[in-house]
Structure 1
Amino acid sequence: MSSPVRRVLIVLPAYNEEGSIAEVLNEIRSHHPSVECLVVDDGSADATALVARRVGVPVARLPFNLGVGGAMRLGFRYALEEGFDAVVQVDADGQHDPAAVPALLKELGAADIVVGARFAGVGTYEASGLRRVAMRVIAAVLSRTAKTKLTDATSGFKACGPRAIALFADHMPAEYLGDTVEALVIAARAGMRIVQVPVSMRARTAGRPSHNPIKSAVYLVRAFVALGFAFLRPAPHVRDAEGTVHP
């Protein structure tokens, strides 16, 4: 992991984000004009794919909604096939600040996965009620599993190096919270090194948030179910660059 990152792909899983996707893509280009992007349209019923293509960004379309994990698995497979050295996951709703991407990539020199953490001393993002309790407990469990301090195990703002790209191209789960909680458990059990960097999270630029206080109890139950399934799955095998499988 000591070699510098060469080719970077920013993957944006998008579901009904026609109101925000153009602004997000233009902001990414303004900060990182040489970085390639891929929008994965996760079965949207609106013009998300059309708007992204008008901006000049390639789009991979799923025939129906699989969730962020399913969309990201497609993105990782594309990155693996096209020889990218790093994948950065960025939300299509504008919550992730593209200006923070270099800070994530910088840490890939010594790690396989870098998590942009919301609860690490930067920004004012807050989660309330049972949802915040669930986040704290899950972060504590993941910290023990990954043998490093993680304050935000549910962040979708992440950078992945070559080993993690190969792992997630085969093993990224599509279930609820699969791209966050379960993916980190899978990575830790596969021997990946995971670190975090503090980031500031922003409000959505359009559309509706996926959670609200009324759904906190449901989130709590589903989060711990996702965590349980993550530990029940067999430890994954990882392909190297030549396609050889390693335990």
Structure 2
Amino acid sequence: MKILVIIPAYNEEKNIIGVVENLQQKCSNVDYIIINDCSKDSTEKIIKDNGFNYISLPVNLGIGGGVQTGYRYAVENNYDIAIQIDGDGQHDPIYIEKLIEPIINGEADMVIGSRFIEKEGFQTSFMRRLGINFLKGLIKLCCRQEITDTTSGFRATSKDLTKRFADVYAQDYPEPEAIIDSVLNGYRVKEVPVIMHERKEGESSINTSTSVYYMIKVSLAIILCRLSNRRKFSR
């Protein structure tokens, strides 16, 4: 099967070499594409100088727009599975085989790597865990499925779901919205346990000042998605 790893990167000059080299060492049988989201630092120069595969966006689209660019690339190049791995080094490619197995076996359309199933490795901050648990409850209420790691950016999608995301995908903070959109439209979502690492360098796009905005926006988006799909879901 043709497998593509999508690596969204914004100002990851200190992490991107390690991410790509780690991927190539642990999972050399997959292709990858870096989506440079109009970084302001030396990210583009570094990936160009190292001969990495990449697309540079002319304007900053945010994580959603960056990942959707990767999905469109996957569709245009006929990949069977698309995998998202963040450009900050938190996601370990050693789990890719476990991540794609349910898709290959026809058991799932989206597989999410969850750090909260076995609760090993970096568990993120207390405040973020509170937000994740709130979204977990909201998603369960809206689509009757429990997802433990609602904001995990370590996930794989089938060919059919990749095609949908290439056309329809949330722009700002897409991970929770992508889950409920998938479930409400009949796609099967599954989680597998993974161990994640703490970001070594740089800063996350979600900090204390943006976390409140994040929670309000994502919560409203989930509710609106549920309301827009209520008839389909009730059948």
TM-score (structure 1 length as normaliser):
0.84
- Partner of 1:149: helix, strand, or coil? coil
Shift of 1:210: 2.9
Matching residue within 155, 162, 165 for 1:165: 162
Cα distance between partner residues in 1 of 2:154 and 2:139: 16
Residue 200 of structure 1, aligned match among 180, 195, 203: 195
Do the aligned partners of 1:12 and 1:38 also contact (CA within 8 Å) in 2?
Answer: yes
Matched with 2:117 is 120
Paired-residue identity, %: 31
Which ranges in structure 2 are unaligned for 5 or more consecutive residues?
Answer: 231-235
> Shift of the alpha carbon at 1:126?
3.5
Q: Corresponding residue for 1:27?
A: 22
Deviations 1:169-211 (A, max 9, x none): 100121x222x01111111122100000111111113111334
Distance 1:149 1:47, change over 3 A: same
Equivalent residues of 1:94, 1:205 under 8 A apart? yes
**1:24: how far off?**
0.6
Report matched runs for 1:175-194 at 5 Å: 176-178=172-174, 180-194=175-189
3-state secondary structure, aligned to 1:12: strand
Aligned length: 227
Q: Are the counterparts in 1 of residues 142 and 226 from structure 2 also a CA contact under 8 Å?
A: no
Q: Which residue of 1 aligns with 2:71?
A: 76
Q: Which amino acid in the other structure matches residue 127 of structure 1?
A: S
* SS at 2:216 equivalent: helix
1:87-123 deviations in whole A, cap 9, x for unaligned?
Answer: 1100001011111111101121210000011211132
Distance (whole Å) between structure 2 residues aligned to residue 112 and residue 40 of structure 1: 23
Contact 1:12/1:40 (8 A) holds in 2: yes
Which residue in the other structure is 1:152 paired with? 149
Change (3 A) 1:74 1:206: same
Please give the alpha-carbon distance, in whole angstroms, between the structure 2 residues aligned to 1:58 and 1:29: 12
- In structure 2, what is the Cα distance between the partners aligned to 1:197 and 1:49? 33
Answer whether contact 2:114 2:194 (CA < 8 A) is retained. Answer: yes
> Is the 1:140–1:151 Cα contact (8 Å) retained in structure 2?
no
1:230 offset after TM fit, Å? 3.2
1:40 to 35, 44, 48: 35
- The structure-2 alpha-carbon separation of the partners of 1:164 and 1:146, relative to structure 1 and needing over 3 Å to count, comes to farther
Q: 2:44 maps to which residue?
A: 49
TM-score w.r.t. the length of structure 2 is: 0.88
Could you say what secondary structure the match of 2:191 adopts? strand
2-side partners of 1:58 and 1:32: how far apart?
16
How far, CA to CA, are the matches of 1:40 and 1:221 in structure 2? 27
How far did residue 227 of structure 1 move?
A: 2.3
> Which residue identity is paired with 2:226?
F
User: Could you tell me how far 1:233 is from its partner in structure 2?
Assistant: 4.9
Q: Which amino acid in the other structure matches residue 77 of structure 2?
A: E
2:228 maps to 1:230: no
Residue type at the aligned position of 2:14: G
RMSD between aligned alpha carbons?
2.0
Comparing 19-28 and 56-65, the one that deviates more: 56-65
Q: 1:86 to 1:21 in 2, by over 3 A?
A: same
Q: Does 1:14 align with 2:12?
A: no
Change (3 A) 1:79 1:214: closer
